[in-house]
Amino acid sequence: MLKKQNRNYLTSAFEGTYPAGPLGLYRFLVYAGILIHFAPSLIFLEENYGSRVFRMPEWNTFLFDFLPAIPEEALVALSALTLLACVTGLLGLLPRTSAIVGGLGLYAFASFNSISVQTLALSSVWAILPLFAVSGAGSEGFSVSALWRRYKGRAPRPAPKWVRTVLLAQVLIGFFFAGVEKVMAGWPMSNEMYFVLNYPKDFMMRDWTFALPFLRTREAGLVLSVLTVFVELVVPLLLVWRPTRLVAFLVFEGFFAGVVATLEVPPLFYAIYAPAALLAFTAADWERYGSFFARRKEAGGGHDGSASAAELQV
Amino acid sequence: MSNTTPPAIPPGPRLSRATRIFIAVWLSLFVLGALNHNILPRAGLLLNLHLPHLRYGYVMFSRNFGVVAVPYYKPADSEELRPLAELVKTPAPFMKRTRTAVMVLMTKFEYFFALCESAPEAHGAEFVLKLHAPGRPEIDDQYRRYLCYQGQLYAEKAEQKLPDLGL
């Protein structure tokens, strides 16, 4: 049996409300990442979903066989509907409908043919959109409705805290177990980063990295392997512990910035993982930061000094 | 009237039983899915949803390609090697070269052949694979050249084999 105080600690992470801003920003960035990733293949339909295109049957099972039977007009309509749902999701309009239609459409198209869209981050998309669909949350901030409320002078609607906590948990669990997977595969001593950093030009590594020969040494590879495992295994824990949260956040962001700056990885990967760390901050954290910045602003002059988490919500 | 400041974020209602159950099931599934790629298989347990994108083995990897074949093409009227990604019309922001190259590897070169068949600019072009295979001097830093003619690739040398990728 859980002791009462532990049970309260657990439930307090889920019960109540959460500032709309961070969750809304996360929703916005996830949909932006989804659009950058999926829109090209949904626009260039003929090259990706035409009846004669190259597909990978082993990646597709039952949906794969239905593709040739779908009329071209229906395919265009489905593509347009899916794109529209992603755009409305980005804008925070009809959040539940957007997540259901967008999620089903993306899943179906990626199953018809994933040659242009397959990436590890897809598994996170298949987890995030159903959560938006079930909760209907995420559009309280960074959305058309939030702007409308602000225009009308109404207070922003707070978001349900459990959605923020589940989203954060999903990302951190995935991130942590990616580290476990690496350790079980022999990281960091296998020095896999050395092999990655030594990939030839025009493959995986961004061009600027070839101007830094030290990056391709065994020592640099080992340091980055150790650092990667450390960040994946330890930083998720440090993020949920208040005293280390801010430092862990900065390390987390630095890690993802380093990855996308060095490697040609999908922007979707960055959009799902990097901003999720914003959700590690509690409502009290946001209120504290809000007050801090309000005091700074006041010290700079011209502000009435009142600030609260509510100001962070749009 | 109370003189205490109300909290900026209202506490909100308690979670319903259905929401609590959903959260518990959802997070348990997530942990189970993560364990399914490392610890469960070693314990002799394996969950396979058999669905596209959710089939076992579809996600997560921590080992890199032992052999890399970077694909290029040389247009019929040019001497310059160009990234094969230029023949793919679908954009892939910030990663098009790598996406094309990875697809060539993941499909064990089927995509390489398919691009010769589907891209109009490919006709008459030379398709080139530059091999990178540390520890395998017999193929490392070598090129494989093919002529793309009427949708078919013809090897420069008849005995030329595609490298074993060890995937």
User: Which of B30, B58, B106 has the CB atom closest to A173's CB atom?
Assistant: B30
Asked if B31 and A173 come within 8 Å (Cβ–Cβ), the reply is: yes
Residue of chain A whose alpha carbon sits nearest to that of B55: A59
Nearest alpha-carbon partner for B115 in B104, B131, B99, B106: B104
CA A50 to chain B, closest CA, distance in angstroms equals 11
Considering only CB atoms, which chain B residues are within 8 Å of A265?
95
> How confident is the prediction for chain B on average, in pLDDT?
83
B39 in Cβ contact with A180 (< 8 Å): yes
Mean pLDDT: which of A74-88, B46-60, B108-122 is highest? A74-88
Check pLDDT > 80 for residue A64: no
Which pLDDT band holds residue A304 (cuts at 50, 70, 90)? very low
Question: What pLDDT, in 10s, does the model give residues B58-84?
Answer: 655 567 788 899 999 999 888 899 999
Question: What pLDDT, in 10s, does the model give residues A122-139?
Answer: 989 999 999 999 999 999
Higher pLDDT, A170 or B49: A170
User: Which of B53, B101, B117 has the CB atom closest to A126's CB atom?
Assistant: B53
Report percent pLDDT > 90 for chain A.
Answer: 72
**Least confidently predicted of A138-142, A212-216, A296-300, B56-60:** B56-60
| B11 part of contact set with chain A, CB < 8 Å | yes
pLDDT at residue number A305: 39
| B37 part of contact set with chain A, CB < 8 Å | yes
Check pLDDT > 60 for residue B166: no
Considering only CB atoms, which chain A residues are within 8 Å of B30?
127, 169-170, 173-174
Which pLDDT band holds residue A4 (cuts at 50, 70, 90)? low
Residue of chain B whose alpha carbon sits nearest to that of A229: B62
| B128 part of contact set with chain A, CB < 8 Å | no
| A110 part of contact set with chain B, CB < 8 Å | yes
Check pLDDT > 80 for residue B55: no
pLDDT at residue number A223: 97
Residue of chain A whose alpha carbon sits nearest to that of B26: A166
Considering only CB atoms, which chain B residues are within 8 Å of A59?
52-53, 58
Check pLDDT > 90 for residue A270: yes
Q: In this structure, which long-range contacts are made by residues B81-86, counting pairs with CB atoms below 8 Å and at least 24 apart in sequence?
A: B81/B128, B83/A202, B84/B112, B84/B115, B84/B127
CA B81 to chain A, closest CA, distance in angstroms equals 11
Considering only CB atoms, which chain A residues are within 8 Å of B28?
none
Asked if A267 and B94 come within 8 Å (Cβ–Cβ), the reply is: yes
pLDDT at residue number A7: 61
- How much is the pTM? 0.90
Asked if B50 and A61 come within 8 Å (Cβ–Cβ), the reply is: yes
Which pLDDT band holds residue A226 (cuts at 50, 70, 90)? very high
Report the greatest alpha carbon distance in chain A.
67
